[in-house]
Each structure stands twice: as structure tokens, then as C-alpha cells.
Amino acid sequence: MSTFFEQINILPKVRENLQKMGIKTPMPVQQQAIPALLKGRDVLARAQTGTGKTLAFLIPPWPRRSTRLKSTCRHWSSRRPGNWPSRSTK
């Protein structure tokens, strides 16, 4: 039987690190929040301290952040520094 973290769409490295930390089953707040966050939905979670809220909100963005970061790096590496946009400080 596969675990919750094996069934959801997260990066293999994130899954490996969860296993290394001994996290095999999600807390209830994680089980409810992570699938919704992976679908791009907004989530408001309320639970006691120590129930895994922070981890629930940190896991889902990694696939998107990784892709976005690669695309941004590729975009900026092809531009000369003189052509980079800058912000004016007025």
C-alpha cells in the first residue's frame, strides 16, 4: 500500500526527505490542506500548535517553485546585465 506522500504530486527529493525525517503519515490538517493547495486553491487552516500546519503549507509549492525557478534562471541567463530591468528608487 502506498502512503499519502507517495500518492500526491510532490518532488521525489521532498518525498525522500520526509521519509528521512520519519514522516510517513500526514497529520489531519496536512491530509486536508495539501491536496487543495496542490490544486492551487486557497486554504485557511486552524489547528493547535504542533499539528503540522507549517509543513502542510510548505510541501505543495515545491513543484511549482522548482519549475518557475528553472524558467526564471534560463530567462535571465540569456540576458546581458546591462539590459536587466531595474527599479527606480524615488
* Within-domain flag for 23: yes
What pLDDT, on the 0 to 100 scale, is given for residue 82? 56
**Is position 69 within any domain?**
no
Does any domain span residue 73?
no
Q: Residue 89 falls within a domain, yes or no?
A: no
Cell numbers 528553472 correspond to what residue? 70
Does residue 29 sit within a domain?
Answer: yes
- Count the domains in the chain: 1
Print the domain residue range for 19: 1-42
Q: What is the pLDDT along the chain (90 residues), one digit of tens a residue?
A: 368 888 888 888 888 888 899 888 899 999 999 889 888 889 998 999 999 898 888 887 665 555 555 554 555 455 555 555 555 555
Residue 7 located in a structural domain:
yes
In a domain, 51, yes or no: no
pLDDT tens-digit readout, 40-64: 889 998 999 999 898 888 887 665 5
**Reduced 3-state DSSP string for the chain:** CCCHHHHCCCCHHHHHHHHHCCCCCCCHHHHHHHHHHHCCCCCCCCCCCCCCHHHHHHCCHHHHHHHHHHHHHHHHHCCCHHHCCCCCCC
